[in-house]
Structure 1
Amino acid sequence: MDEEKRIKKNHIETIQFLVNKIGKKYWLPLYLYLKEHPKLLKTFSGFLLYNEKVVFYLGKTHLAIEYFGNERVDKLKESFETSFLLHDYSLIENDFFDEIIGFSYDSSSDSFKPPLPLFLEDLIVPTNRGFDKLAELNWNFDAQNAIYFFNSNGISILKGQFGRIINGLFFDADEKGLKTRHIKWIDFIPLQYDDSGEGHDFFSINFGYYDKLVEQDAHFVYPLPSLDDFKFSKLPQVNRFIELTGNSRTSEPEITKFLEQKENKFILTMGFLAKEIHGQLKCEWQSEKRDPIIPDFFVVRPNGFADIVEFKLPDLDGRPVVGKNNRETLSAKFNSYISQTRNYKTYFEDPNNRKWMLEKYGVKVQKPKRILVIGRRWDFATDEWREIISDYRDIDIMTFDDLVDGVVAQFYM
């Protein structure tokens, strides 16, 4: 049965409506079923009930629901903390699916856009740019037990049909390197959209699809790397990192200290495709009197030269973009972060500093890429952000989700 809702400029009411309807139709019945069948908890997809965040994407033909969180839970909980976010893409002309994953497909085959079936598990869809970069990195395509879409224009979400993607990997690339988007679980629920009303838009959604999915999803075993694979043993560390960065009380030093630990350094080596990691190196100026710089990490690439990685908090203090009416710009705090990394650039422009660095630490640095890890993916989902940050060619902004996705993607190689 369709449920109708009026969309207002304030998204809070819409989120409350969606949470209420899905909770009654899906989350509560799922919880009760697991309570009756506790043995299923060992393999249950934990993030469906105990998630870090649920993100709703509202389009013209579908409501998409994406889950973030750990794949496994050890027990049912009576209560837990989560958060919800709504992105309204109902008024944009860009492709709905491209907006969700964060980049556009570049195929020369304009007509080929595979339709999303009812269920699609273990999916890999690179753009042509992403495919070329994966090949350059010697990514082993034969090692993947997955469904590939090559030379496609993305994925077509069929009007009037329910669709689901489980464990989808999407790749793109630009001059700064490989981009990875991992979707653990996303549902596409058909809706009817009416924007003819004055001042308000209406949509109706059929939540009845969930009636037949509760028992099926309780029994579903989420795909994880093989128990015999050493990579499986790394998942707990990745989950600890996710938990650490998901805690608003976590400080920047706690994040860098965690990553410096021997058992956790793989997050940096895999996330940045590095062969060596050097943390908290004190770099003294050789040609002038200035305070030393101490970048969080130097990541040494396969070519032997190091780039610089600086970590900030995953929880942004305010919006990264301020202003309106075609006057949007980066916030003062965000500009201060970029200025800090610009100081690193200045340091390594001096050949005396580079020579001292090599002699002191054995680290070669030449025009290092500066990578700022900050915030969560949903903090930077606006077109304004993408347009503004495109002007900053010499710095790469990466979210904590981007870092984790880049690591997890290699677990399935």
Structure 2
Amino acid sequence: MTEENIHSTIRPLVTVFLQELMKEYWGPLYNHIKNNPALIKTVPGFLLDHQGIIVYVGRTHIAIEYTGPEVISELKNEGVMQVQCHDYSTKDCNLFEQIIGFEYDSTLDLSMPLPPFSEDLLLPTNKGWDKLSELGWNFAAQNSIMGFNIPSPEPMPGQFTRIVNGMFFDADESGLKSRRIKWLDFFPIHFDGSEEKSDCISFSVSNMKKLVNHDANYSYPMPDDYKYIQLPKINRFIEVWGNKDNTEPDITSHIARKENEFILTMKFGAIEIHSELTCEWQSEPRSPIRPDFFVVQPNGYADIVEFKLPDIGKHAIVGGRNRETFGAWLNSYISQTRVYSSYFDDPNNRKWFEQRYGFKVHKPRRWLIVGRRHDFDSDVWREIMSDYKDLEILTFDDLIDGIVVQFYK
């Protein structure tokens, strides 16, 4: 287990929590599957193949989110578990909204208690509902628990809560925002902040023993075409960008393969994609540019998608309070996409490009794919991002979520 992303102040709490979970749940679940090998084909793979988990510490709950493959073919005897952690214990907030990354905009001034167990939740914000309707989302295509104009969902204090295959949506001027949760468990905690110099947090996971047999026999809900046709391709893409030895060209060349083009066409609503087209300047002597991808929309105009690495290893935001700004490395990426936009501001360039490649680009929206969701999770980040025109930054997690949820339409 690696714990680089665990803050030192809550490291002891998270370490003990994971150790107890291993003793009371993960270990017994592994042994149960080992003794009943026929269950390997149906048990949710990420409960056993811990490629990554995310721990969220709040005032009333500790939550754990599983990432990884939905299906596995064998049990692993050993492996490395990547642990990410977010500490909201000192913040008066809705832990669920912090996890999904956006706030609900209901006209009702109250909260919605999450039930102890929820499968196939589909809960858009009001803006999300409007955007889904505009895009022609088929709400009747699957069995889901849906809500309209719902207040902010929250786990009840003192109650264990589980969300399985939850899909949550919001929207802004850049378009639809998707957040899929494969499996999320909320464990109730007792938080005592009465001491001036320290806080006391207590919890229990002993009841997880009772869920071992249930979870071992649980079949994760997935549409067949996703499970048997596209899921292996998406998993392979995750393996490519999840390998730190792979470069940006490794990632983009993988997506550019014909069998993988659906990754971008589904996410960006495109009818076709074109990779690394050379754009020669017509009005001034400058070196040609080659954006990673053009994603052509149904109206015949294309937007630009540029990939960077998922493992950034640097701070996205620098500067003191009220003087925050993006780090120099991120600003350099943004400047690169700005050059792309400048190229298509010149009508001579646009004419040359259309004649050569057969589609139009004018005032393109620029999409920068970089980092992981935990790299961009602060309110300050969203405030800075709102100052940029025609630019949207997506994480690799956002990209995958935006694809997967469409299989449930």
8 Å contact kept, 1:15–1:84? no
Q: Residue 141 of structure 1 aligns to a residue in which SS?
A: coil
8 Å contact kept, 1:162–1:209? no
Letter in 1 for 2:215: D
1:306 corresponds, among 287, 302, 309, to: 302
Distance (whole Å) between structure 2 residues aligned to residue 8 and residue 145 of structure 1: 39
Q: Residue 213 of structure 1 aligns to a residue in which SS?
A: helix
Aligned twin of 2:391: 395
Per-residue CA shift, 1:151-204, capped at 9, x if unaligned?
102312111111100000001000000000000000011001011122221111
Aligned residue runs from structure 1 range 19-168, under 5 A = 19-111=18-110, 113-168=111-166
8 Å contact kept, 1:125–1:154? no
Aligned twin of 2:382: 386
Distance (whole Å) between structure 1 residues aligned to residue 405 and residue 341 of structure 2: 30
8 Å contact kept, 2:59–2:89? yes
2:268 corresponds, among 258, 266, 272, to: 272
Letter in 1 for 2:341: K
2:327 corresponds, among 316, 326, 331, to: 331
Letter in 1 for 2:64: I
Aligned twin of 2:3: none
Q: Percent identity among equivalent residues?
A: 54
- Tell me by how many angstroms 1:93 deviates: 2.6
8 Å contact kept, 1:275–1:301? yes
Residue 321 in structure 1 maps to residue 317 in structure 2: yes
Question: CA 1:271–1:8 in 2, change beyond 3 Å: closer, same or farther?
Answer: closer
Aligned twin of 1:3: none
Equivalenced residue count is 404
- Displacement over 4 Å in runs of 4+: none
Aligned twin of 2:214: 216
Per-residue CA shift, 1:119-165, capped at 9, x if unaligned?
10011000110110011011111112111122102312111111100
Distance (whole Å) between structure 2 residues aligned to residue 360 and residue 224 of structure 1: 42
Distance (whole Å) between structure 1 residues aligned to residue 108 and residue 232 of structure 2: 41
Distance (whole Å) between structure 1 residues aligned to residue 226 and residue 325 of structure 2: 45
8 Å contact kept, 1:119–1:164? yes
Distance (whole Å) between structure 1 residues aligned to residue 157 and residue 65 of structure 2: 19
Distance (whole Å) between structure 1 residues aligned to residue 226 and residue 167 of structure 2: 21
- Tell me by how many angstroms 1:384 deviates: 2.5
Which consecutive unaligned segments of at least 5 residues does structure 2 have? 1-5
Distance (whole Å) between structure 1 residues aligned to residue 230 and residue 209 of structure 2: 36
Aligned twin of 1:294: 290
8 Å contact kept, 2:28–2:209? no
Aligned twin of 2:338: 342
- Tell me by how many angstroms 1:230 deviates: 6.8
- The normalised TM-score by structure 2 is 0.96
Letter in 2 for 1:240: R
Most deviating of 174-183 and 50-59:
50-59
- Tell me by how many angstroms 1:8 deviates: 8.0
- The normalised TM-score by structure 1 is 0.95
1:186 corresponds, among 184, 187, 193, to: 184
Distance (whole Å) between structure 2 residues aligned to residue 231 and residue 357 of structure 1: 39
Aligned twin of 1:4: none
Distance (whole Å) between structure 2 residues aligned to residue 356 and residue 271 of structure 1: 28
Distance (whole Å) between structure 1 residues aligned to residue 151 and residue 299 of structure 2: 33
- Tell me by how many angstroms 1:89 deviates: 1.0
Aligned twin of 1:368: 364
Letter in 2 for 1:339: S
8 Å contact kept, 1:54–1:83? yes
Letter in 2 for 1:152: I
8 Å contact kept, 1:8–1:200? no
- Tell me by how many angstroms 1:236 deviates: 0.6
Aligned twin of 1:262: 258
Letter in 2 for 1:72: V
Which consecutive unaligned segments of at least 5 residues does structure 1 have? 1-6
Distance (whole Å) between structure 2 residues aligned to residue 150 and residue 39 of structure 1: 41
Distance (whole Å) between structure 2 residues aligned to residue 212 and residue 235 of structure 1: 31
Q: Residue 290 of structure 2 aligns to a residue in which SS?
A: coil
Distance (whole Å) between structure 2 residues aligned to residue 230 and residue 179 of structure 1: 21
Distance (whole Å) between structure 1 residues aligned to residue 160 and residue 319 of structure 2: 38
Per-residue CA shift, 1:251-305, capped at 9, x if unaligned?
1001110111000000110011111101100000000000111000000112211
Per-residue CA shift, 1:331-380, capped at 9, x if unaligned?
11111100100101110110111111100101201100000001111111
